[in-house]
Chains A and B, each alone.
Chain A
């Protein structure tokens, strides 16, 4: 099996099972720098399992995952250094301030304080959160917490940003703001993005799609390619056809 060095993420023939029950079956796809890929699938499709494997929280015996050419199993630390993650559940410490949470993250990535502080300022300013840096996370609403998590995921300058359903539970304006911002990051920062979602209105026309259903990749490619392959006129129809009516 060869590893594609130019890909930010390359997944080949990946399978995973929980107690004999297959959660992922021969999954393969890759993401290039500057590409925003939406991982679509209904609940239970295997999206979170795939994320746990990419982040090395789980280990797979079948298949291969590489980040920027680094094998996640054999070169774990080099691979993880290239990765920024926003998990589905909030992973911020509620009792610490925004600044303390971000400084903790930079410490884990070995970033010196004098380098960390201007980076934190830059990321928070881009998300209009700098003024709130000394507030405890508990005092922020869901949308603002998500912004802090996105800012945190970018502090160590990753090549690939993973977002596991980051807009769940947010109101429409907060959701749109995050969708716009992440797409802007992919374009302007040449950042590769893998965004797991089951909400099809989060897709932009230039996005790439991977449709996952019951652990299998049902379709992949640009929006146009997926529409053509499924003979559909809208992503909603294509998703409906591929998942046999389990769209949300």
Chain B
């Protein structure tokens, strides 16, 4: 077992995931359609209803479409993380996950590689989305498009790790609908993706508090600031911490002697 073995395995896992994503045209299109509908339809309709004050990182009044763009980037990564977790449950049921789990590498490394693969796919989606948004007159400073890359890595890893953790708990594919209702929707709507925190405070202090401590909000804020060339330290450490907690729990979840895998039945 040497570094080359780790490198080859990781490249293999990431390459496979990217290839699958590129060749599955429907998946590519549907991943883009969702945020674009939010941007072109929801944001356009909501623009008049919501007045936005000037808050960092913005230095001037902005359109609502500009405000929700980082939230929609987060949405792409959130759905992608859950999609990866869904595919892991599917792979486990269908058996192809077994091939990964019986290869002679530490399980944490295999899970991390799988996570990185999913994150790269989500970054690909985000840049295509940003490209389309650019033609819709949503422009960030050019350096923002570079600054956002490392933050997308972190937010993608954090949301992917959450998906991974959930997949270790889900026994059957059918149970996945529950994830949509109990994780994705609350996480997305109770966040700063669609409306700023100060606006939420006006209607509900509790909702604002929940949104503030929601890791998804922090990831969105990290992306929002990075897109304007700024570093949000609090959001960075919060997202990093959330990633580490979710990842550690997912590794335990996939440990055959400690986690949920030990409680699952078999043939």
Contacts and interface: CB of A to CB of B under 8 A. Distances in A.
Interface of A: 18-19, 23, 47-49, 52, 55-59, 61, 73, 76-78, 80-81, 83, 85, 87-93, 95-96, 100, 103-112
Contacts of A58: 256, 261-262, 266
Interface string B1-27: 110111011011101100110011000
Contacts, number: 105
A48 B266 contact: yes
Given A88-B267, A110-B9, A59 B262 contact: yes
B262 A91 contact: no
B34 interface: no
Contacts of A105: 99
A118 to B, nearest CB: 17
Contacts of A93: 16, 20, 96
Given A56-B102, A104-B12, A110 B5 contact: yes
Contacts of B256: 56-59
A107 B102 contact: no
26 contacts: A48-B266, A55-B101, A57-B101, A57-B261, A57-B266, A58-B261, A58-B262, A77-B1, A80-B103, A83-B102, A87-B98, A91-B94, A95-B20, A95-B24, A100-B19, A106-B12, A107-B11, A107-B13, A107-B15, A108-B9, A108-B12, A108-B105, A109-B9, A110-B2, A110-B5, A112-B4
A103 B13 CA distance: 11
A89 B95 contact: yes
Nearest to A16: B266
A80 to B, nearest CB: 4
B95 A78 contact: no
Nearest to B23: A95
A85 B265 contact: no
B204 interface: no
Chain A to chain B: the 3 pairs with minimum beta-carbon distance, closest first: A107-B12, A110-B5, A48-B267
Contact residues of B: prevailing secondary structure = helix
Contacts of A111: 8
Given A90-B94, A108-B100, A110-B5, 16 more contacts: A55-B101, A57-B98, A57-B261, A59-B257, A80-B104, A81-B104, A87-B99, A90-B95, A91-B96, A92-B96, A95-B20, A95-B24, A96-B16, A106-B12, A107-B11, A110-B2
B11 A78 contact: no
B177 to A, nearest CB: 24
Contacts of B23: 95
A85 B13 CA distance: 19
B178 interface: no
A80 B102 contact: yes
B141 interface: no
Nearest to A56: B256
Contact of A103 (B5, B12, B266): B12
Contacts of A56: 101-102, 256
